[in-house]
Structure 1
Amino acid sequence: MRKLNMLFITITIILLISCENKDVEKEESNKEEFFYTFHHPSTSQKFNIINVYKLYENYEQALKQKSDASSFTIFNQKVLNPIYNACYKGGEHFRDTIQPPKDLKEINNTISSIDEKQLNNSIKEALIESSNYLPSEKTTNVCVFPVEGGEYAESAYTTGSGKISLFYRENYDVESLKALIAHEYHHSIYTEKFWNKEVSNNWTLLDNLVAEGKAVMFEKIVYPDITWTPIRYNTNTEIYWKELIQPNLYKKNDANLARQILLGGNGIPYDFGYSEGYKIVKSYLELNPNLTAEEWTALSAKEIFENGDYMNN
């Protein structure tokens, strides 16, 4: 009898393991449908492109079924849960997940405009080229979300080290997106190597300007023939600097002020802070032309600003 019991237990364990393996295989198979994984050909650095837009059909189909669940709940189940770990979990700059679309027709038009192979190849090239300058031992994920035209002011956002969100709008120029990916990759590397609680607690307007200036400089080094971030001149810089920037230069953790200056609006030129941040970094590098991307990325905003020549230009 004991032998029969042991045989029954053994068979039960085998069946449970078999079921678990099938569940894992199913999960991996589903994952492969929207994950595109590749490695740097020389360093073997790993990258994932997570084509989140492929999950929106599941969300739309679930909406059509009779359910008491809200659109937010369904969106979480069908879109966000499968990609949460890759796109959001542990992100040092995590703010919030993307929200359910308000206009499914517009989202579907955006998704239909995506050439998957072309987009994947552009992102892949940008990541490999960027990692030639700033390598990492950490996996970098780029999550591609379809968005409605006026829904997101940002084109992309670095949620944390190794986690980049690309907000894809209908008929984006995938060639230009290479520079955008390079820009965000710089943020990712900076976060990985230099971000910590002390830096976060003491983050100033100057830090914001120089961080974006470094990323713009990096995108223009990696892709000198592609213009993603325009550099603006003759834009009454002295007035904005004297009245808005200089008095608040060392003000800590004022996200609204930083956003206003970086993005522009209310009389401030579009992307003003990105442009001025780039000029701050450029003025320093003109005095120190032999620094590598790794070396100047490591420098503090104060070092770059105070020992550059920005104020005299």
Structure 2
Amino acid sequence: MKKLFVPISSILLTILLLGCSEDVAPNPEPEGESVEKDEAAENIQKTTESEFAILKIGNQQFEIFSYYDAFDEYVALAKEQPAELNDAYAQTIFQPFRQNAFDEKSVLEYINLIIFTPPQDIIPLQSSLEALSDKEAEFQSAIEESLKKSAESLPGGNKTIHVFPANPAFIHGGSPELNASGVALNEEVMILFVHSSLETEELKHTVSHEYFHLIDMEKGAFESSTAESTLLESTIMEGKAVAFSLLNYPGINLSWISNEDGKVTEQARNLFMEQKDSVEMGVWEDFLNGNPVKGIPASANYIIGHEIMQSFLKNHPEIDVSEWLGMSAEEILAGSDFRE
């Protein structure tokens, strides 16, 4: 999935909540252990600074943070203290990310995202990190290229990009409909998840897709979260992001979203139209995760959103991206042939 706009499934991480609260007193520690943690924190800060790049495109500035070395540090701490994975993750990954992405701003609304679950299988993670080492420069170049192309097509404000090695538990054979490779947390913060089998063209497409979401939120075209929007609004949001990324990278393989196998049936389409104005989270999850009882396949919202948006663009080739970005979901639907 290319977008996880808000928490769709949460695991409350107590350690992360404590790490974000200034009023919680830390547990007392032996003096030697405290010194070792202070030294580790200092090394982590140096690592975070070294994995940092600034990209300027026109009036925009992009700060790109990579967390490869931070994950190496997490692996080292996890091996030393396997029962304290939450502590290790908060210290090596989440706190540096928090500082880089939000400075001193609150991040409580993001701490229960499943993407911030500490990886449990350390050996597979270590192997994944080793396999990634030869692709870091290639991925960095692809990210910068896609940001440049996207920003030139649709300029906006300053953004931060955060490159995370993917949690091996969340990689399902590299299948794009199952593997979340990008998240736009708010109008300024994008997270990318990379692994050694990820193709650079797919990464470029993901960056462009998530960049559109950042601008969509920045311009106020999509003001609410998925949890507060209608099924139609959240579906068109994804259709627009896919359309934008296809403008920049038209050759990308999106067979999983084109409904070539006909898995989104007329029954599913009719049900979508019946429930398009629903704000129930369960309805949105049916079209995201699938509901076999109702005849809804997984990723139906992406497939339908893509179908509606491509139909709209075919009917209105004269409308520029900056214009259809601001159009409502109902306007996009009305300008397509999907109702028919």
* One-letter code aligned to 2:125: I
Cross-structure match for 2:339? 311
1:93 to 1:221, Cα distance in 2 relative to 1, 3 A: farther
Give yes or no for contact 1:147–1:168 (8 Å, CA) kept in 2: no
Query: Deviation of residue 155 (structure 1)?
Result: 2.2
2:274 pairs with one of 247, 250, 265: 247
Query: Deviation of residue 189 (structure 1)?
Result: 0.8
Residue pairs, 1:71-220, within 5 angstroms = 71-87=85-101, 94=110, 96=113, 98-114=116-132, 115-150=135-170, 153-194=179-220, 202-220=228-246
**In 1, Cα distance between equivalents of 2:291 and 2:64:** 33
Cross-structure match for 2:69? 54
Q: Give the TM-score taking structure 1 as reference length.
A: 0.80
**In 1, Cα distance between equivalents of 2:194 and 2:224:** 33
Query: Deviation of residue 200 (structure 1)?
Result: 6.7
Give the alignment's Cα RMSD to 1 decimal: 2.9
1:50 to 1:219, Cα distance in 2 relative to 1, 3 A: same
1:296 to 1:93, Cα distance in 2 relative to 1, 3 A: farther
State yes or no: 1:39 paired with 2:59.
no
**In 2, Cα distance between equivalents of 1:203 and 1:92:** 21
1:283 to 1:248, Cα distance in 2 relative to 1, 3 A: same
**In 2, Cα distance between equivalents of 1:105 and 1:230:** 33
Query: Deviation of residue 139 (structure 1)?
Result: 2.3
**In 1, Cα distance between equivalents of 2:196 and 2:327:** 38
* One-letter code aligned to 1:301: A
Q: Which has the higher contact order (CA 8 A, sep 6+)?
A: 2
Which structure is larger by alpha-carbon Rg, 1 or 2? 1
Query: Deviation of residue 60 (structure 1)?
Result: 2.2
After superposition, give the CA deviation of every residue in 1:226-245 in whole Å (9 maximum; x if it has no partner). Answer: 12463114335311122x31
* One-letter code aligned to 2:93: V
1:283 pairs with one of 307, 311, 314: 311
* One-letter code aligned to 2:199: D
* One-letter code aligned to 2:116: I
Identity of aligned residues (%): 25
After superposition, give the CA deviation of every residue in 1:40-98 in whole Å (9 maximum; x if it has no partner). Answer: 2xx0421122212320121222234469x721012101111011133466679845251
2:150 is paired with a residue whose SS is helix
Q: How many residues align?
A: 283
* One-letter code aligned to 1:291: I
**In 2, Cα distance between equivalents of 1:239 and 1:74:** 48
Query: Deviation of residue 269 (structure 1)?
Result: 3.6
- Structure 2: runs of 5+ lacking an equivalent: 1-41, 172-177
Query: Deviation of residue 196 (structure 1)?
Result: 7.3
Query: Deviation of residue 224 (structure 1)?
Result: 0.4
Query: Deviation of residue 293 (structure 1)?
Result: 1.0
Residue pairs, 1:257-296, within 5 angstroms = 257-264=283-290, 266=292, 268-296=296-324
1:265 to 1:219, Cα distance in 2 relative to 1, 3 A: farther
Cross-structure match for 1:5? none
1:160 is paired with a residue whose SS is coil
Give yes or no for contact 2:264–2:296 (8 Å, CA) kept in 1: no
Give yes or no for contact 1:284–1:305 (8 Å, CA) kept in 2: yes
- Structure 1: runs of 5+ lacking an equivalent: 1-24
1:139 to 1:255, Cα distance in 2 relative to 1, 3 A: same
Cross-structure match for 1:22? none
**In 1, Cα distance between equivalents of 2:225 and 2:76:** 44
After superposition, give the CA deviation of every residue in 1:134-179 in whole Å (9 maximum; x if it has no partner). Answer: 1112224233232114467422211111211122234111222111
Q: Give the TM-score taking structure 2 as reference length.
A: 0.74
Cross-structure match for 2:174? none
1:64 to 1:92, Cα distance in 2 relative to 1, 3 A: closer
**In 2, Cα distance between equivalents of 1:92 and 1:179:** 29
1:143 to 1:204, Cα distance in 2 relative to 1, 3 A: same
**In 2, Cα distance between equivalents of 1:196 and 1:280:** 17
State yes or no: 1:227 paired with 2:247.
no
1:154 is paired with a residue whose SS is coil
Give yes or no for contact 1:91–1:160 (8 Å, CA) kept in 2: no
